[in-house]
Structure 1
Amino acid sequence: MSADKTPFYITTAISYPNGRPHIGHAYEAIATDVMARFQRARGRDVRLVTGTDEHGLKMFQTARDQGRATIDLADEMSGHFREMYGRLNISYDHFMRTSDPAHHRASQAIWKAMEKKGDLYLDRYEGWYSVRDEAFYDESELTTAEDGTRLSPQGTPVEWTVEESWFFRLSAYQDRLLALYAEQPDFIRPESRRNEVLRFVEGGLKDLSISRTSFDWGVPVPGSDGHVMYVWVDALTTYLSGLGYPEPGSEFERFWPANIHMIGKDIVRFHAVYWPAFLMSADLPLPKQIFGHGFLLNRGEKMSKSLGNVVDPMALADHFGVDALRYYLLREVSFGQDGTYSPEAIVRSANADLANSFGNLAQRSLSMIFKNLGGELTSDYAARDEDWALLGQVLDMATEQLPAEFERLNFSVGIEAWLRAVFACNQYVDTQAPWTLRKTDPERMRAVLMTLCRAVRTLAIAIRPVVPAAADALLDQMGIASNARDFAALEDANWCSKLAASDFRLAQPVPIFPRLELPEGAEAGEGSGKDAA
């Protein structure tokens, strides 16, 4: 795997906190975190920015209905998202709230840049607006429910809105956007999302209303009393304010443009049409890629409060463990497509792959070294062709196969390559039978066990972006320094001899992956840790 030392910037969508975070927020955060950790392991200087999009009519109405100040609601709900990110081990660098004064300055800066370009004008808006989506829709996009309610493409109610508004000349950017999509085919991924956006833009773009006067909870429009910015201008600018834009000498100068905006498929239009047009207008570089992932379905059904199947990701993490949840979501769902999950599937995945396959491999390999070699590691042994063949297969997975797939966000394919290497190691143990060699050929046993030790280290480093806590716990037991757990460390053929020279000895290993059990009749989100493996 070739080294890449260029800066890497990745973002989650900026979550709207009018409710507690759900499993979809967790899924996106975990995938983004895995990519950030993977790039750090490659040696790149990484920034991961996330945050909460706290303005807009929906937040204003929710707070009003609860009889409280909007900022109080924003403080509370934003706190829930921070709590979730902490619980799920999300290694973000900056958490930006749109209510932050620094974010207001950034939003007003990009507004002034678009205004200077001549792309903003004051007019009267009349049209359909979805409070829930914080989005304007054309008549042609709407459907009608049985009770006569007009619905957006997302199935949310829309209402006819009339007010004075600032407009952005989105129509002027149609040709430039189409040229962008043609020249950079990977700007929007996966292909299905790209095709949707192409059809939308080819159908013609209308100028976009980008301010509101019916409420005051938002970023004030500079020089226009009574107007606050349309929430999507404000929210998208978080990707800039999270790096300190527009302050001189800020991280923005090093990390922008973003390598990846990781978002749900339902907000691709805002990111792949509006956002690049705003940036073009402000003469700012465009992000390199917009990736619209799919939805998570609960037992194949879309989650909704009315069905009673909305699951708290914190409950899943508490019941099954954070690493088991992280692993399952990226192992079982083809990233970019819709996927389904259930407590039973999480248990099966954790037990089969983590506890029984990798966990058992590590446990029995290290236990045999502890019991039969006194925990002593050595590089002084006679390796055979089958030993080198196994190590070559494991190293190829860790330095070529998995990294190549993760670079393309094919997480499940990369993990599948990792699993094949785990299975090969377990087959090697069964074939070599070191417990028999202990009596018949102790030196051969030593060679087999040290081959396994090397393989387990490589496997742990490779999967570390996905299950960071468990991988670190294992590498701690193996005496691997915290600064020797990246992909560059895999190229150090002398790590074992260095460790042996330090008089390190393996202690009795401690199991790292619990076997999970699902109580009979358990509801979604229920499960318990059982014996460890």
Structure 2
Amino acid sequence: MKDKFYVTTTIPYANAPPHIGFALEIVQADVLARWKSLKGFDVFFLTGTDEHGTKNYQMAKKAGLKPQKFVDKNSNYFKELTKKLNISNNYFIKTTDKKVHWPGVVKVWNELEKKGDIYKKKYTGKYCSGCERFITEKELEDGKCSNHPNLKIQQISEENYFFKLSKYSSKLKKLIETDKLKIRPLKWKNDFLGLIKDGLTDVSFSRDKNHLPWGIPVPEDENQVMYVWPDALTNYLTGIGFPDKKYKKYWPADVHVVGKDMLRFHTGIWPGMLLSIGLPLPKEVIVHGFLTVGGRKMSKSLGNVVAPLDLVKKYPADSIRYSLMRATPFGDDGDFSEEALKDRHNNELANKLGNLVRRVSVLAEKYGFDEKTREQHLPERFRKALEKDNLEYEEIKRDITLREKKGDLEDVIRLVKIKKEEGLDAHLLSYPQLMSEVTQFFVNKYMETFQFDKALNIIFAYIDCCNEFIQLRRPWEGSKSIDYKKWVLGESVKAIREIAELLWPFIPEASEKIKKQFSAKKIKKSEILFKKK
């Protein structure tokens, strides 16, 4: 029986079509889902849209539409994005779904109430409609919310139901400190622990129907609707079948993928709710930063908001996915621009990967190829070096290069079976079989620690190795024997198949084409994978 792996994105508000920031999140989650699938896990991947709340209600009024019609329209844009970007989600949840979502939300509310963790009180406070929450004076910057500086802070006074989050503050703090609930990268764990050092406060869980008539009704109170958090956060349970027992197949979530502005809700409110109702906590929350555009914050007033549904009309989904993952270090803010996307499409996907695939396919069709060649392995001392903690690819590459410069390679030549007539005309890591060992080690390491940009760096170092291997050995030259040509091409064909497998989580469409072509007994000249823009 396969081990399960359950990954989720946050569910964005359905108050507008998706922007490039959410495209980053959903591609990150998809890369992770596909990677775990490659590793043999039974994967469930959930995404969807959050369709209740003040923001959606107000925007619907402004558009002159009924709330349901308004959110359905915008939700469809997000569904379209999952298809256009080749996202492999198993289910797309809508929080207005009365059959799939509502019963689970009501069940959670009733359980919280049974535990004595829901109470009613009158509250007056400062409210940010962008964050959909009350905020404290110390969170304001010049009287504004730092995440929504263009929105006016409202002063709201009404009677609501509250969740006793403060009751679970100490326990949550300990769980996070001991990594029972992991937050990655470390800087975001430290950020959240700093945020809660004085304890978590109770959270408003409902709104007066006179102020917000759009939401799931509070059980036994016709004057209140549930607020966004007990509604939206519970999607992680209802999306896999809760309250039906079938949800237990995938719960707890293995990874929640969230933006840094969503951290406090997924590591504070959500695990607090789960502790109250006695369900296991998610295992890990991984946090991504924001995307700037050309070094500037995205803003309608600046006219630099990037709509991914517009981008897919101009560029292949693979190119957009690749560019987003290549340019965004794990946990940090990244910068996105169409110019950078175009550059990566042309210079990395078309020139490096595309040219390698086309060149090898042309030569393999002409001369054939032999995969039954000698096996080569990295010498033991280099393989042992890979076991060092916190080792980076550049370190092992530098170590091997230094040994080569010293001429300390006689035993290496013998061990990796490099024939003298081939000559040591390239460094050790320009031999595909040897580079393969290094690549597999580092790709596994980086993927398991969510450093997708670094995983791509090493895969493209492998592609560079293969291009160099072909260029130095020149199998098209008439002076080379047919056996020699078949050896060079056999090594290259094996490497390209492996590269396609490693790239599948990132660029699935191109990878599947490569795998199909290079798994054939007779390889034929490939089509152009990435046409230059």
**Which category of TM-score, normalised to the shorter sequence, fits these structures?**
0.7 to 0.9
Indicate conservation of the 8 Å contact 1:36/1:46, yes or no: yes
State whether structure 2 residue 253 is matched by structure 1 residue 258. Answer: yes
Aligned to 2:234: 237
Aligned to 1:463: 503
Aligned to 1:61: 58
| Aligned equivalents of 1:95, 1:325: Cα separation in 2 | 21
State whether structure 2 residue 504 is matched by structure 1 residue 506. Answer: no
In structure 2, the CA distance between the partners of 1:36 and 1:118, relative to structure 1 (3 Å rule), is: same
One-letter identity of the residue aligned with 2:515: L
| Aligned equivalents of 1:38, 1:233: Cα separation in 2 | 31
One-letter identity of the residue aligned with 2:225: V
Aligned to 1:454: 494
SS at match of 1:226: strand
Shift of 1:320: 2.3
In structure 2, the CA distance between the partners of 1:200 and 1:447, relative to structure 1 (3 Å rule), is: same
Give 1:194's match in structure 2, choosing from 185, 189, 193.
Answer: 189
Shift of 1:60: 1.1
SS at match of 1:515: coil
One-letter identity of the residue aligned with 1:320: Y
Aligned to 1:279: 274
State whether structure 2 residue 479 is matched by structure 1 residue 442. Answer: no
Indicate conservation of the 8 Å contact 1:53/1:98, yes or no: yes
| Aligned equivalents of 1:48, 1:474: Cα separation in 2 | 25
| Aligned equivalents of 1:460, 1:143: Cα separation in 2 | 48
SS at match of 2:196: helix
| Aligned equivalents of 1:395, 1:143: Cα separation in 2 | 51
Aligned to 1:530: none
Give 2:178's match in structure 1, choosing from 180, 183, 189.
Answer: 183
Range 95-104 or range 187-196, more displaced: 187-196
One-letter identity of the residue aligned with 2:509: A
Structure 2, unpaired ranges of 5+: 376-415, 420-427
The one-character-per-residue Cα deviations of 1:28-61 (angstroms, maximum 9, x if unpaired) are 1111101100110111000110000000011111
One-letter identity of the residue aligned with 2:504: R
| Aligned equivalents of 1:425, 1:505: Cα separation in 2 | 20
| Aligned equivalents of 1:137, 1:40: Cα separation in 2 | 41
Give 2:214's match in structure 1, choosing from 213, 217, 242.
Answer: 217
| Aligned equivalents of 1:319, 1:120: Cα separation in 2 | 50
| Aligned equivalents of 2:229, 2:440: Cα separation in 1 | 40
Give 1:399's match in structure 2, choosing from 433, 440, 455.
Answer: 440
Shift of 1:157: 2.4
Shift of 1:98: 0.2
Shift of 1:164: 1.3
Give 2:517's match in structure 1, choosing from 477, 483, 486.
Answer: 477
SS at match of 1:24: helix
Indicate conservation of the 8 Å contact 1:52/1:96, yes or no: yes
| Aligned equivalents of 1:191, 1:440: Cα separation in 2 | 54
In structure 2, the CA distance between the partners of 1:186 and 1:178, relative to structure 1 (3 Å rule), is: closer
SS at match of 1:514: coil
Shift of 1:123: 1.2
Query: In angstroms, what is the RMSD of aligned CA positions?
Result: 1.9
In structure 2, the CA distance between the partners of 1:408 and 1:186, relative to structure 1 (3 Å rule), is: farther
Aligned to 2:417: 385
Give 1:418's match in structure 2, choosing from 446, 459, 469.
Answer: 459
SS at match of 1:212: strand
User: Paired residues, what number?
Assistant: 480
Indicate conservation of the 8 Å contact 1:381/1:443, yes or no: no
Indicate conservation of the 8 Å contact 2:95/2:232, yes or no: yes
| Aligned equivalents of 1:325, 1:58: Cα separation in 2 | 29
Shift of 1:154: 4.2
Give 2:364's match in structure 1, choosing from 364, 369, 372.
Answer: 369
The one-character-per-residue Cα deviations of 1:215-251 (angstroms, maximum 9, x if unpaired) are 2211111122221111011111111111011112x2x
One-letter identity of the residue aligned with 1:144: D
The one-character-per-residue Cα deviations of 1:420-440 (angstroms, maximum 9, x if unpaired) are 11111111111111011x443
The one-character-per-residue Cα deviations of 1:473-523 (angstroms, maximum 9, x if unpaired) are 111222x3xxxxxxxxxxxxxxxxxx6xxxx3222321212222xxxxxxx
Matches within 5 A, 1:52-451: 52-101=49-98, 102-144=100-142, 150-151=144-145, 154-155=148-149, 156-184=151-179, 187-213=182-208, 214-248=211-245, 250=246, 252-373=247-368, 378-380=370-372, 385-386=417-418, 390-397=431-438, 399-436=440-477, 438-451=478-491
One-letter identity of the residue aligned with 1:298: V
| Aligned equivalents of 1:73, 1:312: Cα separation in 2 | 19
In structure 2, the CA distance between the partners of 1:417 and 1:222, relative to structure 1 (3 Å rule), is: same
Give 2:29's match in structure 1, choosing from 27, 32, 41.
Answer: 32
One-letter identity of the residue aligned with 1:425: C
In structure 2, the CA distance between the partners of 1:76 and 1:442, relative to structure 1 (3 Å rule), is: same
Indicate conservation of the 8 Å contact 2:9/2:256, yes or no: yes
One-letter identity of the residue aligned with 1:393: L
SS at match of 1:315: helix
| Aligned equivalents of 1:399, 1:426: Cα separation in 2 | 18
Aligned to 2:397: none
| Aligned equivalents of 1:423, 1:219: Cα separation in 2 | 55
| Aligned equivalents of 1:142, 1:427: Cα separation in 2 | 55
SS at match of 1:267: helix
In structure 2, the CA distance between the partners of 1:152 and 1:331, relative to structure 1 (3 Å rule), is: closer
Shift of 1:408: 0.6
The one-character-per-residue Cα deviations of 1:118-138 (angstroms, maximum 9, x if unpaired) are 111111121111112111111
Indicate conservation of the 8 Å contact 1:22/1:310, yes or no: yes
One-letter identity of the residue aligned with 2:462: A
The one-character-per-residue Cα deviations of 1:387-424 (angstroms, maximum 9, x if unpaired) are 99734334324532112201110001111111111111
SS at match of 2:314: helix
Shift of 1:67: 2.2
Structure 1, unpaired ranges of 5+: 481-498, 517-533
Range 273-282 or range 155-164, more displaced: 155-164
One-letter identity of the residue aligned with 1:328: S
| Aligned equivalents of 1:257, 1:109: Cα separation in 2 | 17
SS at match of 2:523: coil
TM-score (norm 2): 0.86
One-letter identity of the residue aligned with 1:10: V
One-letter identity of the residue aligned with 1:103: H
One-letter identity of the residue aligned with 1:37: R
SS at match of 2:296: coil
| Aligned equivalents of 1:163, 1:152: Cα separation in 2 | 25
| Poorly superposed stretches of 4+, deviation over 3 Å | 150-154, 377-384, 386-389
